[in-house]
A and B are shown apart, each in its own frame.
Chain A
Amino acid sequence: MAYGKKVLDHYENPRNVGSLNKDDAQVGTGMVGAPACGDVMKLQIKVNDEGVIEDAKFKTYGCGSAIASSSLLTEWVRGKTLAEAGEIRNTDIAEELALPPVKIHCSVLAEDAIRAAIEDYEGKQAREAGAPGEAELAEAV
């Protein structure tokens, strides 16, 4: 199977591989996918007091396109606000990496990952802020 140049580049030189402390209140973690489906993405973002993503790390179990999608995502979200990061769409990733149709799900997974990471961070912040309402707490968990 022939891979696009950008997929190969990210696969061979993945950006921002690693892990952040998931217990840190400034860190949001998104883990999506399932081993049984052949791909699992873990995306972590570190958000500063201004609400800007100052660091992002990933680890991915999956094919080259899944690794490339998550690697690209970490590059894109760095320096973005949470709102901006939340606007990244899977189609942007698929287009940038020129993913073939059978690999579109990799970009979908990447979009799911950033949303899950943002949600995780916001949930932590809500709890940090103290005395959240019952409903809010349930939602954050």
Chain B
Amino acid sequence: MSDINLPIYLDYSATTPVDPRVADEMRRFLTPDGEFGNPASRSHSFGWHAEEAVDEARKQVAALIGADPREIVWTSGGTESDNLAIKGAAHFYQKKGKHIVTVKTEHKAVLDTCRQLEREGFEVTYLAPQADGLLDLAELEASLRDDTVLVSVMHVNNEIGVVQDIGAIGKMTRERGIILHVDAAQGAGKIPINVHEMQIDLMTLSAHKIYGPKGIGALYICRKPRVRLEAQMHGGGHERGLRSGTLPTHQIVGMGEAFRIAREEMAEEAARIRALRDRLWDGLNKMEEVYLNGDLEQRVPGNLNVSFNFVEGESLIMALKDVAVSSGSACTSASLEPSYVLRALGRNDELAHSSLRFTIGRFTTEEEIDYTVSLIEQAVQRLRDLSPLWEMYQEGVDLDSVQWAVH
């Protein structure tokens, strides 16, 4: 225990620290003695050098997903990429049709963008996933119509880590000439993804989920078949007019280096992280009334989303001062609603209120996992001793039969 630094970080799906190798690269593009030029400057070597660095990063990002570098457009991050993809495609193709299909468990950057399009007169179908978090492909197929122009399905879910069968979806949409957008912010660099094999038309990428800096992302835009978008940011015509704004060289270089490292080390790293995840689950699963949310097999290696029945999530997080995790329950918000993702899976509200998301990453150690298991065991025991629901459960009361005064 002596070599553990507290608090332990198990929230890698929220963000990751920048890999020191990435930070070293970024530093070369900031100061007067570095390559600080504007990549759009064509009249001197400062600009040329910066542009070379941006091109190299573009190649690295493209290589991770099997794309051509010309298919990559830099953005400020995942949210912007989602907005550009969905609004850009919907606006460009609206004469063809105004129907969009997505899933209830998508990230808010997708859902809220779809809501905006609804206000603009588009029609959006929000599919419910199955209890394991995976999309029913037959249901997806049945939802496609002649006027469907866009399907947006995330690769890996940010809360429960389940991996959708993008290849099967791509086949379905490509056959029908419908554009497929995939939010891969949580998947790229963690599990293999190939945009051409999976027939993806638009794909959101983010740097800070895989040890790159915050504030930079990219959108993959398929060239064959050619997918067109209406720009959402206007100005100097950067990125072939699709996204104006001075390119942040150091951020882009950081994303490129992060994606290079991910491509080279992904297989080995995924195996190590998966082993840590399984160790965590084995430890937690020894307790009574602990439930895994989302399918275990079709899941990104670093994610574990667990409900501790009869313990409320926020109080559990409060007890875990030395472990940085996030609660599936958003009960700090004024609405007091539990996680919309867990509810979409059909989890009952108690279990949705009792969930924690653990996400393991590059710098997690076995000692940290073991220490976390022991802390959680103590905290869950203590809170169950405080819980009237646990007491009723122990007495054999069926909680579903109780008439609760819902407030």
Contacts and interface: CB of A to CB of B under 8 A. Distances in A.
Interface of A: 1, 3, 11, 14, 17, 19, 31-42, 59-64, 66-67, 101-102, 105, 108-109, 112
A33 B318 contact: no
Contact of A59 (B314, B350, B388, B404): B388
B288 to A, nearest CB: 16
A114 to B, nearest CB: 15
Contacts of B386: 14, 17, 59-61, 67
B311 interface: yes
Contact of B310 (A17, A38, A61, A105): A61
B336 A59 contact: no
Interface residues of B, number: 29
B312 A39 contact: yes
Given A1-B332, A67-B315, A34 B406 contact: yes
Contacts of A35: 349-350, 353, 389, 399, 404
B312 A38 contact: yes
Contacts of A40: 388-389, 404
B405 A33 contact: yes
Would you list the 5 A-B pairs with minimal beta carbon distance, nearest first?
A34-B404, A36-B349, A42-B388, A59-B388, A63-B314
A64 B318 contact: yes
A62 B312 contact: yes
Interface of B: 310-312, 314-315, 318, 329, 331-334, 336, 338, 348-350, 353, 385-391, 399, 404-407
B388 A38 contact: no
Contacts of A63: 312, 314-315, 318, 331
A21 to B, nearest CB: 13
A85 to B, nearest CB: 20
A41 B389 CA distance: 9
A108 B336 CA distance: 15
B388 A41 contact: yes
B388 A36 contact: no
Contact of B331 (A3, A32, A33, A38): A38
A140 B318 CA distance: 39
Given A36-B349, A39-B312, A67-B315, A60 B405 contact: no
Contacts of A19: 391
Nearest to A100: B332
Given A38-B336, A39-B312, A40-B389, 13 more contacts: A11-B318, A33-B404, A34-B407, A35-B389, A35-B404, A59-B386, A60-B386, A61-B386, A61-B387, A61-B390, A62-B315, A102-B336, A112-B407
A37 B314 contact: no
A41 B350 CA distance: 14
A71 to B, nearest CB: 9
A112 to B, nearest CB: 8
22 contacts: A3-B318, A14-B386, A19-B391, A31-B388, A33-B405, A35-B399, A35-B404, A36-B353, A38-B331, A38-B349, A41-B388, A59-B387, A59-B388, A60-B388, A61-B310, A61-B312, A61-B388, A62-B315, A63-B312, A63-B318, A105-B336, A109-B407
Which residue, of B349, B388, B407, has the highest number of chain A Cβ atoms within 10 A?
B388
B405 A38 contact: no
Contacts of A59: 386-388, 391
Contacts of B385: 17
Contacts of B314: 38, 63-64
Contacts of B310: 61
A60 B332 CA distance: 17
A40 to B, nearest CB: 6
Contacts of B391: 19, 42, 59
Which residue, of B311, B312, B329, B331, has the highest number of chain A Cβ atoms within 10 A?
B312
Contacts of B388: 31, 40-42, 59-61
B192 to A, nearest CB: 38
A36 B386 CA distance: 18
Nearest to A38: B353
Given A59-B388, A60-B386, A36 B318 contact: no
Contacts of B407: 32-34, 37, 105, 108-109, 112
Contacts of A105: 336, 407
B46 to A, nearest CB: 46
Contact of B333 (A60, A64, A66, A102): A102
A32 B406 CA distance: 9
A64 to B, nearest CB: 5
A14 B405 CA distance: 25
Contacts of A108: 407
B329 A38 contact: yes
B174 to A, nearest CB: 42
Contacts of B350: 35-36
Nearest to A36: B349
Contacts of B315: 11, 62-64, 66-67
